[in-house]
Amino acid sequence: MRGAALCVTASSTAAQEGSLRICSFSAQNYVREFLEGPLRASFPNSAFFEAALDLDTAQLAGGYDAACLFVNDLASEPVIKRLAEGGVRFLAMRCAGFDKVDVAAAAEAGIRVARVPTYSPHSVAEHAVAMLLCLNRNLHHAYLRVREGDYSLSGLVGFELRTKVVGIVGTGAIGLAACQIFRGFGSRVLAYDIREDPAAVALGVEYVSKERLLREVDIVSLHCPLLPSTYHIIDAESIATMKPGAIIVNVSRGGLVDTDAACNALESGQLGGLACDVYEHEGSLFFKDWRTCQLKEGFKVWDRKFQLLKTFPNVLISPHSAFLTSEALANIAATTVENLKVLQAFEAGLPTLNELKAM
């Protein structure tokens, strides 16, 4: 009955929706293509800013009731305070991750926060496997060679996935999708999570301890959230227990991997490769084209570790684009709009399905 009441209440406020003023940060063209139509249909008073949210840009939200944020938008306590001073009452995350949001500070400021807990797990899982295949078969090198007229095969040898053991760390929706794909290749799949998923077990996935997983697998694919308990889950100690030449794939959160430890292991050969769609200090670096920036501006985000990481021939990096499919963007837009409707309908204080609460 509660679900039915939720629908009725949200519907009954439809006449009020147009009065809610929405601003969206980190709203590049590919975001607006999918978000602008659905958002303006329910909330005509909507604005879109390409700038990311931080302490300097928070003033742009002045006079708006809600702000839509993306994964690297910074909603720290000082930013939250500035948003509240400008009249913001809602934060609608266009993503699942919220490690840049001070949820406790938001609650204290009277700002409610909602997220999109799942939008297209297959988009991210497929990207993880695509990166692994590219790295393993050296497609990134072969592509550049052929463009330059080099058709030699030296250095392009890879392996068959069906002969390898894959370790999945985190078997939520994305991790489960990754399990399905790797099992389809014929790989043996081990998994580590605080909860076992019967659906994964039904696929033939074996749950083991983290220590055993790291010891036995040839490939580690990370699909867990960034929490205090998972920060640098891949560090020097854990890498040392892995098979020499093992490969790590990270399409989850940059902070899961200790970059210094990874670089050292790549230099020594303990790691055979690293494929990552995220980086632990990506905040002000990703989602921007730095090629056209002045040198002085570029040095503001200069990161020696990242520059070193890019030099390894057995490292493949994508710019936090694992989610970037038309299906995922459409799902994100639809859920974001629904979250805003429900947050407005339940401004009195009742919890909603996708709302974040301070721990």
Q: Specify the residue for token string 């690297």.
A: 72
Burial class (CB in 10 A: 0-12, 13-18, 19+), 318: middle
Task: Name the residue among 71, 117, 120, 63 with its Cα closest to residue 88.
Answer: 63
Q: Look up 206 and say whether it is catalytic.
A: no
Residue 274, C-beta contacts closer than 8 angstroms, at least 6 positions apart: 247, 248, 249, 250, 257, 262, 266, 309, 312, 314, 315, 316
**Helices marked H in 19-170:** 29-42, 77-85, 103-108, 121-136, 139-147
Q: Which of 17, 115, 253, 338 is catalytic?
A: 253
Q: Which of 320, 327, 347, 355 is catalytic?
A: 320
CB 256 within 8 A of CB 226: yes
Task: Name the residue among 215, 209, 210, 167 with its Cα closest to residue 188.
Answer: 167
Cα 272 from Cα 136, distance rounded (Å) = 10
Pull the structure tokens for residue 68: 């839509």
- Cα distances (Å, whole numbers) of residue 326 to 95, 117, 123, 268, 294: 15, 17, 9, 40, 33
Count of beta carbons in the 10 Å neighbourhood of residue 236 = 14
Task: Name the residue among 56, 113, 101, 75 with its Cα closest to residue 342.
Answer: 113
Cα 274 from Cα 283, distance rounded (Å) = 20
Q: What are phi and psi of 24, to 5 degrees?
A: -120, 125
In this structure, which amino acid lies at residue 141? H
DSSP helix/strand/coil, 271:
strand
Q: Which of 282, 291, 297, 304 is catalytic?
A: 282
Q: Look up 223 and say whether it is catalytic.
A: no
Q: Look up 32 and say whether it is catalytic.
A: no
Q: What are phi and psi of 110, to 5 degrees?
A: 80, 20
Tell me which residues are annotated as active site.
Answer: 253, 282, 320
